[in-house]
């Protein structure tokens, strides 16, 4: 049996490793941000949660429109932009000492 037949068939966006990783990262950010100061609720906390979750939603939208190359690429580009925004918010969390360098590096690498 060749590699294509042995590979797991992707039936849903949830089967994609990139989706699973982004979903897990968004959930981890959610849990970590629970420990941020309350005065950050309407700025840093909301923003980092929103941008990290948007990575998954853009991947899902792109998956649904994958037949249309330009739209698919656009949604992937949107996902990349949300990743960059999330990384920026992580940088603020690090500078404000809400997270340590190890957590920052781990999340930033994901």
Instruction: Provide the token pair at 11.
Output: 């039936």
pTM of the model: 0.88
Token duo for residue 71: 């739209």
Give me the CATH code for the 14-109 domain, please: 1.20.1440.60
- The angle subtended at Cα 47 by Cα 43 and Cα 49, nearest 5°, is 125
The domain locations on the chain are 14-109
At 70 the pLDDT is 95
**So what's the pLDDT on residue 6?**
61
| 6-57 pLDDT, tens digit each | 667 888 899 999 999 999 999 999 999 999 999 999 999 999 999 999 999 9
CB 22 within 8 A of CB 55: yes
């Amino acid at each position: 049996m060749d590699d294509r037949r042995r590979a797991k068939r992707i039936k849903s966006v949830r089967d994609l490793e990139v989706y699973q990783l982004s979903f897990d990262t968004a959930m981890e950010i959610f849990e970590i941000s629970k420990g941020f100061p309350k005065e950050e609720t309407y700025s840093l906390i909301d923003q980092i949660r929103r941008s990290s979750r948007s990575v998954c939603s853009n991947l899902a939208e792109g998956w649904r429109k994958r037949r249309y190359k330009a739209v698919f690429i656009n949604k992937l580009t949107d996902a990349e932009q949300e990743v960059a925004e999330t990384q920026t918010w992580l940088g603020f969390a690090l500078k404000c000492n809400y997270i340590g360098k190890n957590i920052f590096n781990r999340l930033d690498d994901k």
